[in-house]
Amino acid sequence: MTRPLLVLRPQPGADATARKAASLGMQPVVAPLFAVRAVAWEAPEAASCDALMLTSANAARHAGAQLARFAALRCYCVGAATAAAARAAGINDVIVSEGDASALLSRVAADGVAAVLHLAGREHRAVAAPGIAIERRVVYAAEPVAAFPAPALAALGQGAVALLHSPRAATLFTTLCHAAGVDRRDVAIAALSAQVRDAAGGDWRALAVAPRPDDDALLAAAAPLCDQ
């Protein structure tokens, strides 16, 4: 039995994940749990920081024209998708970490950077590291949906596999399942990390964790669940 694959991350990442899933023979159903919007922000003086830090591609996509003030700085990014968004926004000196924000800060510290500007989402996780001054600006917000759209409910009724990219998404997905009367024992979860898995809780039909925090690894973890 091939089960539908629920792609729940915000756009445009949701469509990119769905295309990859379809190319692997899966049956993706796109139903983002969040709508991302830009937030007005005031940029500090470029001279006050030595580098940029981006922990989400949405920061590069939604920072707007003010991002150009910092285009000459080195930009430290979590993941290849964030790095690609930074380059698309006009930043050329990009360093990529495949770990989380804490791993990224370790790289920043190893390079001797003393002050960074972190462009983040409203619900970001505030990481810190000794010896690094971090100035944060919220440049986007991800607004949660109030309920599952009809295609998502239909997929859940068919024993879907849900892709969860963040702890916040895992928490919201669990809440919406409860509100809709979805039996968790009929649903499988593929989580991007152990933190995402923990946020989802238990009692699912099956639960897998990606061996690396990237989309390809997440889809590889989901594939066997779709064939159960």
Which one, of 192, 53, 55, lies nearest residue 125 by Cα? 55
Same-domain check for residues 23 and 44: no
Which one, of 58, 57, 63, lies nearest residue 77 by Cα? 57
Which one, of 163, 118, 172, 162, lies nearest residue 142 by Cα? 172
User: Which of these three, 119, 143, 167, is where a domain ends?
Assistant: 143
Tell me whether strands 133-144 and 34-38 are parallel, antiparallel or unpaired.
Answer: antiparallel
Q: What are the φ and ψ backbone dihedral angles of 175, each rounded to 5 degrees? A: -65, -45
- Give me the pLDDT at residue 1, please: 55
User: Which of these three, 143, 166, 196, is where a domain ends?
Assistant: 143
How many structural domains are present in the chain? 2
Same-domain check for residues 77 and 23: no
Tell me whether strands 4-7 and 27-30 are parallel, antiparallel or unpaired.
Answer: parallel
Same-domain check for residues 139 and 149: no
- Give me the pLDDT at residue 129, please: 86
Q: pTM of the predicted model, to two decimals?
A: 0.83
- Give me the pLDDT at residue 52, please: 96
Same-domain check for residues 89 and 139: yes
Q: Which domain holds residue 115?
A: 36-143
Q: Which CATH number belongs to the domain containing residue 77 in this structure?
A: 3.40.50.10090
Taking 50 as the pLDDT cut, the residues of the chain under it are none
